Amino acid sequence: MKQQFDVVIVGGGMAGASLALLLKEQVAKGLKVALVDAQAITPVNLQQPSFDARTTALSLGTKRIFENLKLWQNVHHHACAIEHIQVSQQKQFGRVRLHAQDSHVEAMGYVIENRALGQHLWQALLENPLLTIVAPAKVTGYAMSAQGADLEVSQNGELLKINTQLLILADGAQSEGCRQLGITQTRFDYGQHALVCNVSFDKPHDHWAFERFTRQGPMALLPMTDNRYGLVWCMSSEQAKHYSHLNEAEFKQALQAAVGHKVGRVNRIGERHQYPLSLVKSKEQIRRNVVVMGNAAHAMHPVAGQGFNLALRDAHSLARHIADAWPIESVGSLPLLNAYEKSQQQDQSLTIGMSHELPMRFIEAGCQWSILRVLGMTAMDISYVPKKLFAKQAMGLVGSAAPWRP
Ligand SMILES: Cc1cc2nc3c(=O)[nH]c(=O)nc-3n(C[C@H](O)[C@H](O)[C@H](O)COP(=O)(O)OP(=O)(O)OC[C@H]3O[C@@H](n4cnc5c(N)ncnc54)[C@H](O)[C@@H]3O)c2cc1C
């Protein structure tokens, strides 16, 4: 027998799980929502790709959305505030410094381990008995009909048939849903990997985050709890392989050379992991009865730490559009989804542009560019307006769905 839902979210990663939580008021009013994920949804032993060894820089806008969801009160002790950001370049003068107090906010953002965030997101999903969770289960077939989207879901060797008014494809950058529905995802390969690990220095981080353009590529050092930093170091795929295989002493030496000595002496290094980097964009984000979300819609270079923050703003906006229209309008109606897409266009294009342009400028730059870059950075450090605009976008205090615009 075919099960019927108003909304089916395929993918319980950070994007899909957050959307399911954002819909909870409508779920309480009778909106039938199901979330399907290939992994078992349990707050322990997380195997899901979003919730791995990485850390995520949450923007201030994300924190505010989590506060409204009553999620922040559970995750805040895992999160470390970013009070200052310094953008600089290895072996060059010139830097941009941003301070939370200049923007009259308590922090520029927060850094959290993905596993901790995942545990609390999934715990919150499991606590809502009105939400249907179909997991572990894999969506194997996608088809559109006059009745909405028809899905075939394989669970425990059985084939379930599900119909929904609104299909959310939050199934990641290699979206099988997009492929089967003929929604093209374009890919730009940066030829880079992100080398990720936790690291501590012998000086306190004092809530500084460092964004540094090193010889190898852009690097972020994000302050974490217990005086640790989350390191995200982007470099060519060959270099990433090389640096992953260095022994600890050699890697410490290479890292120290790249970050300089102001942050202190490298103390401890955690396990290193590598992630290939590409910009993935789906050519369509909406169709009647379909929305593409999160990495499936736009997976980006992590240099500016924006992928999840943008996905959450999208999810927040979609949930608000649904709240405004449903039950008078069907959740899969084209005018509703068009309005949602329009509301996010500017935010998406600015955020994706910033996340793409920043690494490209520095990847492509030869030495004749470097003086211009440094001048640009110095000018930005003393000029209030571009700094403020940059900070506002980076803090996620943007987008038509943000009611807290400063
Ligand atoms: C190195 C690195 C650092 C980053 N740092 C930041 C940061 O600091 N700040 C920030 O905002 N963003 C950051 N990001 C981006 C962030 O990690 C992503 O935006 C986030 O993971 C989005 O996840 P998602 O839910 O869209 O997709 P995914 O995490 O890929 O989840 C997709 C889900 O779909 C499920 N699925 C797939 N196919 C099916 C199927 N057929 N049936 C059922 N389920 C299925 C999978 O099991 C999975 O659970 C970073 C990314 C990288 C690579």
Q: Which residues of 186-221 are buried (b: 16+ CB within 10 A; e: fewer)?
A: eeeebebbbbbbbbbbeeebebbbbbbbbebbbbbb
Residue tagged 């179909």 (tokens)? 134
What local confidence, expressed as pLDDT, does residue 97 receive? 86
Q: Are strands 266-269 and 208-213 parallel, antiparallel or unpaired?
A: unpaired
Whether 239 shows a pLDDT value over 90: the answer reads yes
The stretch 355-384 carries a mean pLDDT of: 57
Peptide bond into 327 cis (omega under 30): yes
Q: CB of 223 closer than 6 A to ligand 1?
A: no
Q: CB of 121 closer than 6 A to ligand 1?
A: no
Q: CB of 136 closer than 6 A to ligand 1?
A: no
Q: CB of 37 closer than 6 A to ligand 1?
A: yes
Q: CB of 234 closer than 6 A to ligand 1?
A: no
CA atoms within 13 A on the CB side of 120: 18
What's the CA angle centered on 94, arms 92 and 96, to 5 degrees? 130
Quote the CA–CA distance of 237 and 275 in Å, as a whole number: 9
What digits encode the pLDDT tens for the residues 130-162?
999 999 999 999 999 999 999 999 999 999 999
To test the pocket of ligand 1, the residue of 308, 318, 393, 395 to mutate (highest count of ligand atoms within 8 Å of its CB) is 308
Ranges 97-111, 121-135, 194-208, 376-390: which has the least confidence: 376-390
What local confidence, expressed as pLDDT, does residue 404 receive? 38
Please state the atom number of ligand 1 nearest to the C-alpha of residue 220: 8
Whether 406 shows a pLDDT value over 50: the answer reads no
Quote the CA–CA distance of 289 and 262 in Å, as a whole number: 53
What local confidence, expressed as pLDDT, does residue 369 receive? 45
Please state the atom number of ligand 1 nearest to the C-alpha of residue 296: 26
Q: CB of 8 closer than 6 A to ligand 1?
A: no
Quote the CA–CA distance of 206 and 328 in Å, as a whole number: 51
What local confidence, expressed as pLDDT, does residue 397 receive? 56
Using CA atoms, how far residue 332 sits from 105, 147, 344, 355, in Å, is: 38, 10, 17, 31
* Mean pLDDT over the full length of the chain: 88
Query: What are the extents of the domains in the chain?
Result: 2-187+278-394
What local confidence, expressed as pLDDT, does residue 367 receive? 41
Q: CB of 31 closer than 6 A to ligand 1?
A: no
Atom 11, ligand 1: residue with shortest CA distance? 308
The stretch 217-227 carries a mean pLDDT of: 91
Q: Are strands 132-134 and 266-269 parallel, antiparallel or unpaired?
A: unpaired
Q: How many Å lie between the centroid of ligand 1 and the Cα of residue 295?
A: 6
> What tokens were used for 95?
């830097």
Q: How many Å lie between the centroid of ligand 1 and the Cα of residue 340?
A: 21
% of the chain beyond a pLDDT of 70:
85
What local confidence, expressed as pLDDT, does residue 190 receive? 92
What local confidence, expressed as pLDDT, does residue 11 receive? 97
Segment (H or E) for 145 = strand 138-145
Using CA atoms, how far residue 35 sits from 32, 164, 272, 294, in Å, is: 10, 12, 32, 15
- Which SS3 state, helix, strand or coil, does residue 333 take? coil
What local confidence, expressed as pLDDT, does residue 41 receive? 83
Q: CB of 198 closer than 6 A to ligand 1?
A: no
Q: How many Å lie between the centroid of ligand 1 and the Cα of residue 15?
A: 7
Using CA atoms, how far residue 386 sits from 370, 379, 381, in Å, is: 20, 9, 9
How is 260-324 classified by DSSP, letter by letter? -STT--EEEE---EEEEEEEEEES-SEETTEEE-GGGTEE--GGG--HHHHHHHHHHHHHHHHHH
CATH number of 2-187+278-394: 3.50.50.60
Q: How many Å lie between the centroid of ligand 1 and the Cα of residue 272?
A: 19
Residues in the chain: 406
Atom 9, ligand 1: residue with shortest CA distance? 305
> What tokens were used for 124?
């919150």
Q: CB of 133 closer than 6 A to ligand 1?
A: no
What digits encode the pLDDT tens for the residues 259-317?
988 899 999 999 999 999 999 999 999 999 999 999 999 999 987 888 999 999 999 99
- The CA dihedral of 100, 102, 104, 110, to the nearest 10 degrees, is -10
